[in-house]
Structure 1
Amino acid sequence: MTPSPLVDPAVPAAAGTRIADSADVSSDANIGSGSSIWHLAQVRESAVLGENCIIGRGAYIGTGVRMGDNCKVQNYALVYEPAVLGAGVFIGPAVVLTNDTYPRAVTPDGQLKSAHDWEPVGVVIGDGASIGARATCVAPVIIGAWATVAAGAVVVKDVPDFALVVGVPARRVGWVGKAGVPLTETEPGVWVCPTTGSRYLETEGVLALEEQ
């Protein structure tokens, strides 16, 4: 019987985990059950992936990155340590989560920098948030829960929960609900999802789902 191309017996993983034979997954990574890591992806040492995560072709997951359940990291995205992703986060194709605010290849005296010459800083993404294709999040920033970063945006400051941000640098242009669809303001401070009918209340620039 021919082995599945998405099972690598050399990498210890939870039951139901699928790893392409061309993927490079550290034996020190912790991969949750039901997760899939596709061709040419790399998952580094001490990375922790939750259950049912999908890591697309050519994606990079840095050392010690933490990811909740049901996350999707699309093809060729770069998630550098020490990024932290909540549950249900979507990372679009070719997204970059940086980790160096003031990058330099060399020290002031011209010597090649080593890992001891700089302090990595990370991007933190809340549950359910989505980062569109080719967007860049410049660490350190926090992307709020259920927020949406539009394709090609460059995020240089924190993004509130449920915010829709676009542009370079990214700015808020509206609100989105848990369904990801832009909300409609039906009266001052009251926003409604046209898909689910859920109501959200805005108070001093902060949006929250109305309690039932």
Structure 2
Amino acid sequence: MSLFFAHETAVIDEGCQIGENTKIWHFSHIMPNSVIGKKCNIGQNVVISPDVILGNNVKVQNNVSIYTGVKCDDDVFLGPSMVFTNVINPRSAVVRRTEYMQTLVKRGASIGANATIVCGNTLGKYCFIGAGAVVINDIPDYALVVGNPSKQIGWVGEYGHRLEFNEEGIAICPESKQEYLLENNVVTRVK
């Protein structure tokens, strides 16, 4: 008996690891040696390439391709039709399978619909990438970025609300009431 759900149209290759209570929907393809954690939701028409690692509770919306070299920590959200790359200078006639670059998406990060993440970058904990953004460099923890190329326009907390810092560098999330400190252009959650 399977501990995860896969729609009858999903293709799951041998050698995958899929955590319990994960759901894989219509026309998705999970390729060999990929690792998917517990309680993930893999939307329609998703491709997860070999050796990709997804943590627990990762939400992958429809039409997302996650290529070799990508690792997503727990609680990551990948919006509809967002794009990862894994080669910095692709050419159809040049084989670069040995040049795949790593992309790390840290815990709790959200990537909006139709955003593009250029390979070789790290997206910080709980960062928020706006819809349609094109990320070409590392993104700090809790950063809010938008545009092409992406530009940081503020900070967000763990519940996804924009943080407004006072003169002392303190912000309080309006929903969770969690407190955050901005010091030397670095945001940390105050426990």
* Structure 1 residue 114 displacement after superposition: 6.3
SS at match of 1:27: coil
1:184 corresponds to 2:164? yes
Tell me what 1:196 maps to: 176
* Higher mean displacement: 178-187 or 159-168: 178-187
Structure 1 unmatched runs, 5+: 1-8, 108-112
Distance 1:165 1:188 in 2: 23
RMSD: 1.3
Distance 2:166 2:185 in 1: 16
CA contact (8 A) 1:33 1:52 kept: yes
Distance 2:55 2:163 in 1: 26
The correspondence of residues 43-192 of structure 1 with structure 2, limited to 5 A, is 43-107=30-94, 113=95, 115=97, 118-192=98-172
Tell me what 2:24 maps to: 37
Distance 1:25 1:203 in 2: 46
Q: TM-score, normalised by structure 1?
A: 0.87
Distance 2:162 2:138 in 1: 19
Amino acid at match of 1:203: E
Distance 2:58 2:161 in 1: 19
Is the alpha carbon distance of 1:24 and 1:207 closer, same or farther for their aligned partners in structure 2, counting shifts above 3 Å? same
Residues 132-163 of structure 1: CA deviation (Å, up to 9, x unaligned): 00000001000001000000000000000000
Residues 107-152 of structure 1: CA deviation (Å, up to 9, x unaligned): 3xxxxx363xx41012100001000000000010000010000000
- Length, aligned pairs only: 191
Q: TM-score, normalised by structure 2?
A: 0.96
SS at match of 2:165: strand
* Runs of 4+ with >4 A deviation: none
CA contact (8 A) 2:165 2:182 kept: no
Amino acid at match of 1:94: S
Amino acid at match of 1:192: I
Amino acid at match of 1:169: P
Distance 1:21 1:93 in 2: 22
Distance 1:72 1:133 in 2: 13
Amino acid at match of 1:154: V
CA contact (8 A) 2:78 2:111 kept: yes
Distance 1:119 1:155 in 2: 20
Q: Decide which structure has the larger Cα Rg and report it.
A: 1
Distance 1:58 1:65 in 2: 16
Tell me what 1:5 maps to: none
CA contact (8 A) 1:80 1:122 kept: no
